[in-house]
């Protein structure tokens, strides 16, 4: 089938309320060498969003969610700003399908976070605001906002080559913190910034975190930011079992070395890394003690 024939067939299927078949058809067509009409994919996904809740539930039971992920991924790869707002809305609606275990992430929403400090604070406000008796829709918004922020790992100011432009990052942080101060959320904002900075790249010589992030963390220097960075580093490792303490001891050594390397010029960051090192040393001793009792 040609791209035009695919679009026509998908439209006809939607007309007879076979949106599941339209999704399957378009998903298969994304693997063709012929480019598809993005408008057709957008309209198909937007049709799903407009379905009544019972019909959406029925659709989830009838179709593999992977097909929807493929349509979103295809649209993301077109790199067109013509429908960025529509795609962002689609990503928000289907956010549970774009989590850490999916091959596709909410790239458009993440891009908006980089470009818009206001959007970052809006999400932070939603994630931090819990109603006494929330509706299911309100619960979903809180959950979506939390997971979108938690899954975002690209530092603002990051260039295509991976290098972070310090001035761009500084400007973004200043705007974010100014907005957070107005909404009495500066503490949680700094904490979230710290968590984000835990995903910073290294300098070309291997120094971590990179100089741009070290400078910004040092300038802000709040307790909340420090705690956010600390827990962001520790939690990024995940859960490890049965290491006997060797892995933890190696991590402690690595972070102590990182701390020593930067402490003179960036003492605040160095202290955080030293605290991380001490945390891993305690874990190493605990694992060794457990292994001794079990052995």
Instruction: State residue 109 phi and psi, 5-degree precision.
Output: -65, -40
pLDDT digits (tens, 9 = 90+) for 160-174: 999 999 999 999 999
pLDDT digits (tens, 9 = 90+) for 131-162: 677 888 888 899 999 999 999 999 999 999 99
Confidence (pLDDT) at 137? 85
pLDDT digits (tens, 9 = 90+) for 46-84: 999 999 989 998 988 888 899 999 999 999 998 667 899
In angstroms, the CA 90 to CA 246 distance is: 45
pLDDT at 242 over 60: no
Looking at residues 221-240, what average pLDDT do you find?
A: 90
Single out the residue of 55, 213, 214, 53 nearest to residue 140, CA to CA.
Answer: 53
Confidence (pLDDT) at 241? 54
Confidence (pLDDT) at 134? 81
Confidence (pLDDT) at 63? 87
In angstroms, the CA 225 to CA 192 distance is: 7
pLDDT digits (tens, 9 = 90+) for 4-39: 999 999 999 999 999 999 999 999 999 998 899 999
pLDDT digits (tens, 9 = 90+) for 266-276: 999 999 999 99
Structure tokens belonging to residue 195: 């968590």
130 or 92, which is more confident: 92
Instruction: State residue 153 phi and psi, 5-degree precision.
Output: -130, 10
Single out the residue of 115, 142, 124 nearest to residue 189, CA to CA.
Answer: 124
pLDDT at 187 over 80: yes
CA–chain centroid gap for 195, Å, is 11
pTM of the model: 0.90
Structure tokens belonging to residue 47: 């049709």
Looking at residues 40-51, what average pLDDT do you find?
A: 96
pLDDT band at 238 (very low <50, low <70, confident <90, very high): low
pLDDT at 291 over 70: no
Q: Which residues sit opposite 25 in a β-bridge?
A: none
Confidence (pLDDT) at 135? 86
Confidence (pLDDT) at 189? 98
pLDDT at 129 over 90: no
């Amino acid at each position: 089938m040609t791209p035009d024939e695919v679009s026509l067939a998908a439209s006809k299927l939607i007309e007879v309320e076979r949106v599941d078949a339209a999704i399957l058809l378009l998903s298969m067509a994304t693997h063709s060498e012929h480019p598809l009409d993005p408008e057709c994919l957008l309209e198909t996904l937007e049709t799903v969003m407009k379905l009544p809740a019972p019909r959406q539930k029925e659709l989830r039971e009838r179709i593999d969610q992977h097909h929807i992920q493929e349509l979103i991924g295809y649209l993301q790869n077109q790199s067109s700003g013509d429908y960025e707002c529509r795609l962002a809305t689609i990503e928000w609606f289907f956010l549970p399908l774009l989590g850490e275990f999916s091959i596709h992430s909410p790239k458009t929403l993440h891009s908006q976070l980089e470009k818009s400090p206001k959007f970052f604070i809006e999400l932070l406000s939603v994630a931090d605001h819990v109603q006494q008796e929330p509706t299911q829709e309100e619960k979903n918004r809180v959950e979506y906002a939390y997971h979108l922020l938690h899954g975002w790992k690209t530092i603002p100011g990051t260039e295509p080559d991976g290098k972070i432009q310090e001035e761009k990052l500084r400007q973004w942080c200043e705007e974010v913190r100014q907005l957070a101060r107005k909404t009495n959320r500066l503490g949680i904002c700094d904490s979230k910034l710290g968590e984000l900075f835990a995903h910073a790249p290294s300098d070309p010589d291997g120094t971590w975190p990179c100089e741009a992030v070290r400078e910004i963390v040092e300038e802000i220097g709040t307790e909340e930011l420090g705690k956010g960075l600390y827990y962001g580093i520790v939690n990024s490792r995940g859960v490890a079992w049965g290491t006997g303490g060797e892995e933890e001891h190696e991590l402690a050594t690595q972070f102590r070395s990182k701390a020593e390397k930067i402490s003179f010029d960036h003492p605040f960051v160095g202290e955080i890394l030293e605290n991380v090192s001490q945390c891993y040393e305690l874990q190493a001793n605990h694992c060794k003690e457990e292994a001794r009792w079990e052995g």
